[in-house]
Amino acid sequence: MAGCVLAAAAVVWFLEAQLAARGFDWKLAADSFVRLRWRWLALSVVPIAGTYAVRALRWAVFLKPLKARPSLRNLLSATVIGFTAITLFGRAGDFVRPYLISVKEKVPVTSQLATWVLERVFDLLMASLLLAFALARVQAWGAELGPKLAWVLAFGGRFVGFSCLAVLLLLVSMRHFAEPVRHRLVAAMRFLPEAQFLRIEKLITAAVQGVESTRSDGALLLVLLYSVLEWALIAACYWCLARSFVESMDLAFVNILILMGFVSFGGIVQIPGVGGGTQVAAVLVLTELFGVRLELATSFALLMWILSFVVIVPVGLALAVKEGLDWQSLRRISRGASQ
């Protein structure tokens, strides 16, 4: 909660500082919404909707060691409801999806929490690669950078190094050492009373089963392909969004990839109902790197957040109601699973 408050304060401080320094033109910002090319905006919803299907397909690969034929319908429903919970409750909502999948597919919830961690690892890998690409392109341009963006580049370089190292270590450990670690942890718990030992052994085994898919070369390749497809669809959404602006927002697809690279680690902070550092990073990169006016950059960042998180909320709430879940149920799941 404290982290959310600090993140919200940082977002407000940044926007106020930018508004005061640059003389924000509210009329231009309003006109940018009125004059949107609505066909392009509607088209941008298609690829972002496709990302939920791709995430469900990727999760099905993770489930294979536990269930040979998982229901894609169940996985897609849980994915949509899960992302709705993230928008409503912040990062605590992340735990709704693995919980619902464990209930729907009748697999241990511990295994699905382990799968969620594994999914985060692959997303971190893709975000790191995009950030590395962005850093390389910007440095190749030799552009004059403001102090804020220079700080982003410096921080981004360290982020890429640490995250890539962490991803490689996690993938190697999950792929080759999961079973030996399980044996050692189980052996270390032998001193416990039998009832407690059996319960902990079951939890450890379920956690290991959740990462079993990485031991198969074919499954690992399929997960990587789905991860690339997911981020390609996100890039397509942002490209269509840029085309929806009548004013100067002529970003090539490579520029969209650079933008994604810088904003990818801004999404680590998710404020319930507001978003997070993604919007701030997007405004910063668009204004200081691509020369977009602050008003247009702010409008773009707001629509980017709406497409990425808000658009799915009505669908997620409808699915939740259909499955007998309500606001309190989702909130209870978020709190209980994250404790």
DSSP secondary structure, 111-150, as one string = HHHHHHHHHHHHHHHHHHHHHHHHHHHHHHHT----HHHH
Q: Which residues form the domain of 217? A: 37-338
pLDDT of residue 100: 92
Residue whose structure tokens are 């910007």: 138
What DSSP character marks residue 35?
T
pLDDT of residue 4: 44
Do the Cβ atoms of 111 and 122 come closer than 8 Å? no
pLDDT of residue 270: 45
Identify the H or E element spanning 276: strand 275-276
pLDDT of residue 315: 94
Do the Cβ atoms of 120 and 174 come closer than 8 Å? no
Spans of the chain below 70 pLDDT = 1-23, 139-161, 163-164, 167-179, 181-182, 185-186, 197, 199-212, 247-248, 265-277, 326-327, 334-339
Report yes or no on 4 lying in a domain.
Answer: no
Q: Give the relative orientation of helices 313-322 and 72-89 as an angle to the nearest 10 degrees.
A: 120
Report yes or no on 5 lying in a domain.
Answer: no
Task: Give residue-wise pLDDT tens across range 189-206.
Answer: 777 777 776 766 666 666
Report yes or no on 293 lying in a domain.
Answer: yes
Residue 158: CB atoms within 10 A of its CB come to: 9
pTM above 0.85, yes or no: no
Report yes or no on 27 lying in a domain.
Answer: no
The DSSP bridge partners found for residue 270 are 276
pLDDT of residue 284: 81
Report yes or no on 16 lying in a domain.
Answer: no
Report yes or no on 13 lying in a domain.
Answer: no
Report yes or no on 26 lying in a domain.
Answer: no
Task: Give residue-wise pLDDT tens across range 151-178.
Answer: 656 666 666 667 667 766 666 666 666 6
Report yes or no on 143 lying in a domain.
Answer: yes
Identify the H or E element spanning 64: none
* 3-state secondary structure at position 57: helix
Structural domain tally of the chain? 1
The DSSP bridge partners found for residue 168 are none
